[in-house]
């Protein structure tokens, strides 16, 4: 079975979803694409779950994933999936969870190569000082996603 593709509009731009019967291989932002008029059946669940996430109806994804990467990258991406909605971890914390805090640069590099935008939540990884360090989709998108997951409390006027 060949890979299928769907382009959907999100609040952050057009997302391109690529996958087949073995799972979703890639989700990326592609600002030059147009929306798909038809969604391949194998991608329908991914489209629905992303739409639910952006509307605030979903906090966890339940998709069959099949990203391409090295064993180390896949190990990092799997660990990313354990970071709960609305929380953040530092690159150092992530390195420690993977068993080697000295691997922080390798962990950061693997995080930056994550092919499954949002579904594998690399946006939840920040600098140890709380700074919004690099994000392939741009820091403005990282900030937007973190605010979606953890909106500021409305202050009372009275």
Catalytic residues: 122
CB 33 within 8 A of CB 72: no
Q: How many residues does the chain have?
A: 158
Q: What is the CA radius of gyration of the chain?
A: 16
User: Which candidate, 114, 113, 115, 121, places its Cα nearest to that of 145?
Assistant: 121
- Name the 3-class secondary structure at 156: coil
CA angle 121, 69, 8 (to 5 degrees): 50
């Amino acid at each position: 079975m060949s890979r299928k593709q769907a382009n959907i509009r999100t609040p952050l731009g057009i997302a391109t979803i690529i996958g087949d019967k073995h799972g979703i291989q890639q989700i990326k932002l592609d600002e030059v694409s147009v929306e798909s008029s038809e969604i391949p059946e194998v991608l329908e669940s991914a489209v629905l779950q992303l739409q639910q996430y952006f509307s605030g109806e979903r906090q966890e994804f339940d998709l069959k994933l099949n990203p391409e990467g090295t064993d180390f990258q896949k190990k990092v991406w799997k660990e990313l999936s354990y970071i709960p909605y609305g929380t953040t971890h530092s690159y150092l914390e992530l390195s420690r969870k993977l068993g080697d805090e000295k691997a922080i640069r390798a962990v950061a590099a693997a995080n930056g190569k994550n092919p499954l935008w949002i579904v594998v939540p690399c946006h939840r990884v920040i600098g140890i000082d709380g700074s919004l360090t690099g994000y392939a989709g741009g820091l403005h998108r990282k900030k937007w996603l973190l605010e979606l997951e953890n909106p500021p409390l409305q202050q009372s006027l009275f």
